[in-house]
Amino acid sequence: MTRDGIISTYKKFSVSKDQEQQWINEMFENGFLKVSSEDLHSVTSLGYLIQHHNKIDYFNRFIEKIEREIDRNTNKYNLLRFAETIFSLIENLSRFENKLNKEQIINGIYTTSRILKKAKEKALPSDFKNPDFELIDSNLTQEQYLNRKINELEYKIRLVKILE
């Protein structure tokens, strides 16, 4: 922002910290309204916002929203991405001083595991086109690739140690 001159333009408006905080809260509320099982971008965007603003208080709400969404009909790829987003939040928010508590970590891990189990049970639609798959130079089918990613994330979950 500084390099592009955006921050200096923004500072000219003399926006108060309270107003800025109100805008951030509105951004989160809009993000929660947009989250849907078929809109992967809305989930990853909200996850990024929670992580970027270190909004640990929104973590539980995020998990609850995703739990409701995964019960709707969604595809294997989206389920995997939901699980990756939650696990990434757990990893990154646990690094901050104001970090996730043990209960939040357990809840997040449980939800991630549940999503992965559901993803394993799903088959890919025949017309599905995985946007990540084109980057892979492999003899794997899309289904095999997603199953490998699911197994890798399950392995990472088993490595998580919950400290007192």
What tens digit of pLDDT does each residue of 61-98 get?
Answer: 999 999 888 877 678 888 998 999 999 999 888 876 66
Domain hosting 99: range is 20-122+137-159
Q: Which helix (H) or strand (E) holds 68?
A: helix 59-70
pLDDT band at 113 (very low <50, low <70, confident <90, very high): very high
**Would you say residue 8 lies in a domain?**
no
Distance (Å, rounded) from C-alpha 112 to C-alpha 25?
26
What's the whole-number average pLDDT of the chain?
Answer: 83
**Would you say residue 2 lies in a domain?**
no
**Would you say residue 104 lies in a domain?**
yes
**Would you say residue 106 lies in a domain?**
yes
Partners of 36 in the beta sheet?
39
Let me know: does 68 contact 138? Beta carbons within 8 Å: no
Partners of 39 in the beta sheet?
36
**Would you say residue 143 lies in a domain?**
yes
Distance (Å, rounded) from C-alpha 143 to C-alpha 159?
25
Q: List CB contacts of 118: < 8 A, sequence separation 6 or more.
A: 70, 79
**Would you say residue 147 lies in a domain?**
yes
**Would you say residue 15 lies in a domain?**
no
Domain containing residue 76: CATH number: 1.25.40
Q: How many helices (H) and strands (E) does the chain have?
A: 7, 0
CA proximity to 102, closest of 160, 45, 164: 164
* More confident position, 155 or 56: 155
Q: Tens of pLDDT along 128-143?
A: 766 665 555 567 777 8
Q: Is the pTM of this model over 0.75?
A: yes
Is 37 a residue whose pLDDT tops 50? yes
pLDDT on residue 1: 47
CA proximity to 15, closest of 25, 7, 5: 7
DSSP symbol at 100: P
pLDDT on residue 82: 92
Phi/psi at 5 (nearest 5 deg)?
80, 5
Is 148 a residue whose pLDDT tops 60? yes
**Would you say residue 83 lies in a domain?**
yes
Domain count, the chain: 1
DSSP symbol at 16: -
pLDDT on residue 115: 94
* More confident position, 154 or 160: 154
Phi/psi at 39 (nearest 5 deg)?
-110, 85
Is 164 a residue whose pLDDT tops 50? no
Structure-token match 């197994």, residue found: 151
Q: How many residues does the chain have?
A: 164
pLDDT band at 162 (very low <50, low <70, confident <90, very high): low
* Cβ neighbour number for residue 28 with a 10 Å cutoff: 18
pLDDT on residue 151: 94
